[in-house]
Amino acid sequence: MGLFESRCGLSRLYRQEIIQSTMPTETIPRISKRTLDQLPVQGKKVLVRVDYNVPLSPEGKVTDDTRVRETLPTLEYLLNKGAAVILCAHLGRPKGKPVAQYSLKPAAACLESLIHKSIQMAPDCVGPAVQAIAKNLKPGQILLLENLRFHPEEEANDSAFAKSLASLADYFVQDAFGAVHRAHASTTGVPELLPSAAGLLLAKEIYFLSHAIQNPQRPFVAILGGAKVSDKIEVIESLIEKVDTLLVGGAMAYTFAKAQGISVGKSRVENDKIDLALSLLEKAKKRGIQFLLPIDRVIVQNVDPNAKAEITPSTTIPEGWEGVDIGPKTVQLFQKQLLNAKTIVWNGPMGIFEMPAFAKGTFAIAEFVAEATKKGATTIVGGGDSVAAVKQAGLGNQLSHVSTGGGASLEYLEGKDLPGIAALPNV
């Protein structure tokens, strides 16, 4: 008995050690790109591209720290492995010049408060002063470089600029999912010069998005909204080939309605996209998928937070009125599809959700997507507005994956090869 106990104890201890030493790699999603666990980073300097393009208050405080918070697993992983971490990022569009309002100092303060470690802030991202600071950086320390876009060479993917950045480190980790649709020096230039890998956030994003697109569990339902059909043409075209059901809300639904000969009052319509809308409807029909548009709407005479809203009992909107949200019958119609789904991808709000009176449809969708997640569906939301809606509804942690990329997640769903991902070595 004693022997048995000690054996059990030993094996438990042994198992625990194994689990501890392999846990980080076990939790790294397997993707077709090299991931950071495959770099021998101990005692080395690692340049990490992060997306700290975060919203700031007029006083210069980070108002939504999601993008910073989401980089913590990668940073903690690298620090625990004994690396020194050099972070590089962009903020805003300063057009190649230093602009104080686009300094990354607020992001440094934000990271410091989240990681409980002091962060050194470099005065620039390249140049002799930065070289000297980076050279003295010790394992376990973090240095944040100043905004890459203070130099026009970043967006021009200038090779000398990429070389200066690469010279700061031994390895490169790409963790800026939100920026991988850009072919810039820090996304495509540097990985050509240093042994590179995807960080944990990037791996997670690729894992969720690629599974949804390549081998979704069915029924696969996509919900698309937002203002314009023109912004979503490619994603609709790509998703028509993959989903079982497409639910369309938001202002772009009026262009589809008009294409079907339905009067939409003075709702926002892209008249030059009517033919395109028709051809997309035709395509969906040929593929045999459900393409569901709103069957009732919330309408107003003038868009104003206090405007008196009415509900049209049908798809038709009277003259002088415009649609601002999906109506209750549409909410029910979409609910049925969402609660039956096994995979859901959502991009774009259902109405002008920034105005509380017209947010019901969008928030209802957020609730159903969260409910579907509880029932076992894989649910992914991407795109600035729908992510903001999910967070406002307090449901950010109840979905399988909330993407940190706006344009990047849309381009991924469009089936494009994103340059910052393509630049990383395959495994």
List contacts with ligand 3PG (CB under 6 A). Answer: 51, 53, 93, 178-179, 182, 406-407
DSSP label at 241? T
CB of 5 to ligand 3PG, least distance (A): 56
Q: Are strands 378-381 and 401-402 parallel, antiparallel or unpaired?
A: parallel
SS3 260: coil
CB of 182 to ligand 3PG, least distance (A): 5
Q: Return the residue nearest ligand 3PG (CB atom).
A: 53
**81 tagged catalytic:** no
CB of 112 to ligand 3PG, least distance (A): 21
- Decide: 242 and 220 in contact? Cβ < 8 Å: yes
**67 tagged catalytic:** yes
Nearer to ligand 3PG, 107 or 331 (CB): 107
CB of 92 to ligand 3PG, least distance (A): 7
State both tokens at 122: 């470099």
**Of 34, 45, 49, 67, catalytic:** 67
**Of 228, 266, 391, 416, catalytic:** 228
**407 tagged catalytic:** yes
Burial tier of 374 (Cβ tally within 10 Å: 0-12, 13-18, 19+):
exposed
Nearer to ligand 3PG, 149 or 242 (CB): 149
User: What DSSP assignment string belongs to 171-193?
Assistant: EEEE--GGGTTS--IIIIIGGGT
Positive/negative CA dihedral, 403, 407, 412, 413: positive
Query: Is residue 416 within a helix (H) or strand (E), and if so which, with residue range?
Result: none
State both tokens at 20: 């501890």
Nearer to ligand 3PG, 184 or 297 (CB): 184
**Of 92, 96, 396, 407, catalytic:** 407
User: What DSSP assignment string belongs to 336-348?
Assistant: HHHHH-SEEEEES
How far is Cα 400 from Cα 402, in angstroms, rounded to an integer? Answer: 7
Nearer to ligand 3PG, 50 or 166 (CB): 50
Positive/negative CA dihedral, 211, 215, 218, 220: positive
CB of 33 to ligand 3PG, least distance (A): 20
Nearer to ligand 3PG, 234 or 310 (CB): 234
**149 tagged catalytic:** no
State both tokens at 317: 């909107």
CB of 424 to ligand 3PG, least distance (A): 18
**Of 178, 189, 225, 384, catalytic:** 384
Q: Are strands 171-174 and 142-144 parallel, antiparallel or unpaired?
A: unpaired
State both tokens at 307: 């405007």
Buried b (16+ CB within 10 A) or exposed e, 18-40: eeeeeebeeebbebebbbbbebe
Nearer to ligand 3PG, 24 or 407 (CB): 407
DSSP label at 137? P
Nearer to ligand 3PG, 51 or 175 (CB): 51
Strand 142-144's sheet: what is its strand order? 119-121, 142-144, 84-88, 45-49, 171-174, 196-198
CA 283 to chain centre: 28
How far is Cα 263 from Cα 38, in angstroms, rounded to an integer? Answer: 58
CB of 181 to ligand 3PG, least distance (A): 8
List the catalytic residues. Answer: 67, 228, 384, 407
